[in-house]
Amino acid sequence: MSLKSYKPGIVESKYAPLREKLRTAADNIGMDNPIVQELEYEVTSEMKNVGLSMFINPRTLSYKIFAVMILSFMIIFATTLNIKFMEFARKTAPNIFEGPKGVGNFAAAKLNASGDIYGKEDVAKLGDKELNIRIKPVDFKVNVKEEGDFQQQKFESVFPQDLTVKETAAYEENIPQEQQELVRNYFKRLAEG
């Protein structure tokens, strides 16, 4: 493994006092011996001096910022002038924008094979006739000559005139009459005494 891809090696290259120490500590971590423990303590103390700023390359960073600025200005400039990059690309490299071909797209292959994609010629030829087409938002079916004025609809409020309160049907258990009599008599006698 090269030092560039080895993480302790990267830190060591940025902070010279840790040179060879950090990787030794990393490779011998967990070893129970006083020298390793002393090394670990020393490395931990020195790691506090390693700042994040050491890993930032000011030159690369300024190049990146400059590139982002240039790109931003280009986008604003293109938007202001209404430059259509897709149109430009379509003109310069039309092959890229050709329809799908080959085995994967049967529909396209079928259409291309017939060569007649517009149907009957008299239907296809519309000339300079004005077409009124309305597309329904739900099923997207096209209806020719289907239009009308906007109609104001009036809604009537209907409220029932004869309001009556009806007694709800009482709940009655399906108990035979004889048994009902028997229970009634029992409670009657109990009340009498």
Instruction: List residues binding another protein (CB under 8 A).
Output: 1, 3, 6, 20-21, 23-28, 31, 33-36, 38-39, 42
CB closer to another protein, 3 vs 61: 3
CB closer to another protein, 33 vs 177: 33
Q: How far is CA 5 from CA 11, 13, 30, 46, in A?
A: 11, 12, 23, 22
**Least distance (Å) between residue 57 CB and another protein:** 24
**Least distance (Å) between residue 97 CB and another protein:** 54
**Least distance (Å) between residue 54 CB and another protein:** 21
**Least distance (Å) between residue 3 CB and another protein:** 8
CB closer to another protein, 39 vs 50: 39
CB closer to another protein, 26 vs 50: 26
CB closer to another protein, 34 vs 127: 34
**Least distance (Å) between residue 14 CB and another protein:** 17
